[in-house]
Structure 1
Amino acid sequence: DATEVQVRRPPAGRGGRRAFVSGKKKQNTMKATVVADHQGRTLWTDALRPGRMHDATAARNEGIGTCFRHFRDVEVLLDDGYLGLRRDHPGQAVTPPRKGNKISPPEVLEARLRARHRHSSKRITVEHALADHKRWKQLVRWTHRRETLPVTYRAIAGLVSDRNTTG
């Protein structure tokens, strides 16, 4: 999954200033891609990108497609932001079923709702892993130079992951 950290606005007159404006938060952010296991432990975090970049694009740029090709029996639970990865890697990249439209029969709508609930129940540990990162005050709003955020984020993710494995 991906999470966004609010950062300072780039200086006026610099190129790429709009790249940090998130479409979701309508603020200047950087987006961190995080991989967690079924127990909520952080396995990998990297790919801090400008907030405007889509989740699936950031994952593709980090080579997730190569990982899917090398590890054929791995199944990854993703959210709705990764529908393109589900299309590219069927059976490996699992996203929740699409929401039913208004003209669908009620039993179809109910079945999809139950399937979405089952999927989110399996993914909740990933959301908890992201929440563990955000409990650190530095990652709520980054007030330092944007260039130093990736190193700090990885260090905090390592500390959180170590705490989860030993505690």
Structure 2
Amino acid sequence: MKKNNPHVEGSDGLVYTARLPLSSATLNWLAELMRGHCKKIGSRWRALSAGKIAGIVLAVLRCDQRPGDLAGGNGVHRTTVSRWVREVIGLVAARAPRLDRALKKIARSGGGVVLLDGSLIRTRRRTGTENRKNYSGKHKCHGLLVIALTDDKGRLVWVSAVRPGRTSEITACRHDKLTAHLRAVDLGAIADLGFVGLDDSRLGADPAVITGYKAARNRPLTRGQKLSNKALAAARAPVEHGFAHLKNWRVLGKIRTDPKWATALVRALLVLTNREVAR
């Protein structure tokens, strides 16, 4: 019996190569992680080597390549590539730092403050009841909210669980008990005006979250308050660099995966981003 296994894009499809803007150290680390996982679960055979699997997964995450295109160029099925991507994301996401451990590490290194910010990751519009909770009235689009902490130099140290776009940044921080974790290690956080009201400490206590001043319709800002806002904006500017490094992974351009799986995706990209930035 003759087997006929054509490629996903057809037997006469063109195959091209491209250069990934990533270091070989990240590729080798991911390949070793894959080899260790295969040895642990007793997987003796894969269609491709661990190094090639790592390269395919990085191409999907960094350049948002379609699994079907990569499958056709490597002689495997599209579902095989999708399974590899989810498998590697799960392995890398398990190495993402926890909130309490990340803050303790900064406190031990002599840091005094962290930078706090939130960002919306766009998603495709969903139908039915799933459509409403992912719609962000602030950004006027569908997406998922993620909260991140960086050190004073803009290096990402922690990302929260991904939540529906209609969730406010303050609500997301309170779900994670952020202020309690900050006070436990005597750290402060610098945030923008979207986090005003997050710190509900008693009067006279040192604030755990430092924000600027908001102007009201009948109460404009004084000159001193404007200068304070300007100084805080300059101090928290590095947090934008951290989000920029994270969003260099084009798979976050518009998430097409299950929102429940997006948390593992973002945390895996945090680990990979830190490896790339620290090299």
Q: TM-score, normalised by structure 2?
A: 0.53
Alpha carbons of 1:6 and 1:102: their partners in 2 closer, same or farther (altered >3 Å)?
same
Larger Rg belongs to: 2
SS at structure 2 position matched to 1:28: strand
Measure, in 2, the Cα distance between the counterparts of 1:82 and 1:148.
26
Measure, in 1, the Cα distance between the counterparts of 2:217 and 2:168.
25
Alpha carbons of 1:126 and 1:103: their partners in 2 closer, same or farther (altered >3 Å)?
closer
- Pair 1:146-2:259 in alignment: yes
For the 8 Å contact 2:179–2:209, the answer to whether it is kept is: no
Superposition pairs for residues 18-167 of structure 1, below 5 Å? 18-71=132-185, 73-88=186-201, 90-99=206-215, 109-166=222-279
Alpha carbons of 1:2 and 1:159: their partners in 2 closer, same or farther (altered >3 Å)?
same
* Paired AA for residue 70 in structure 1: A
Q: Deviations over 1:74-115 (max 9, x none)?
A: 1110111111223447522100123376665xxx63222211
SS at structure 2 position matched to 1:60: helix
* Paired AA for residue 131 in structure 2: R
Candidates 118, 122, 131, aligned match of 1:17? 131
Alpha carbons of 1:88 and 1:20: their partners in 2 closer, same or farther (altered >3 Å)?
farther
Structure 1 residues 15-24 or 125-134, which shifts more? Answer: 15-24
RMSD between superposed Cα atoms in Å: 2.0
Q: TM-score, normalised by structure 1?
A: 0.85
Measure, in 2, the Cα distance between the counterparts of 1:4 and 1:66.
24
SS at structure 2 position matched to 1:47: coil
Measure, in 1, the Cα distance between the counterparts of 2:216 and 2:256.
42
Would you say how many aligned residue pairs link Structure 1 and Structure 2? 160
Q: Deviations over 1:43-74 (max 9, x none)?
A: 00122100000001001101213303412x21
For the 8 Å contact 1:100–1:109, the answer to whether it is kept is: no
Question: Following TM superposition, by how much is the alpha carbon of 1:6 offset from its aligned partner in structure 2, in angstroms?
Answer: 0.8
Alpha carbons of 1:117 and 1:10: their partners in 2 closer, same or farther (altered >3 Å)?
same
Question: Following TM superposition, by how much is the alpha carbon of 1:9 offset from its aligned partner in structure 2, in angstroms?
Answer: 2.2
Question: Following TM superposition, by how much is the alpha carbon of 1:118 offset from its aligned partner in structure 2, in angstroms?
Answer: 0.5
Identity of matched residues, %? 24
Measure, in 1, the Cα distance between the counterparts of 2:266 and 2:198.
25
Question: Following TM superposition, by how much is the alpha carbon of 1:27 offset from its aligned partner in structure 2, in angstroms?
Answer: 1.4
Alpha carbons of 1:17 and 1:101: their partners in 2 closer, same or farther (altered >3 Å)?
closer
Alpha carbons of 1:99 and 1:155: their partners in 2 closer, same or farther (altered >3 Å)?
same
* Paired AA for residue 277 in structure 2: N
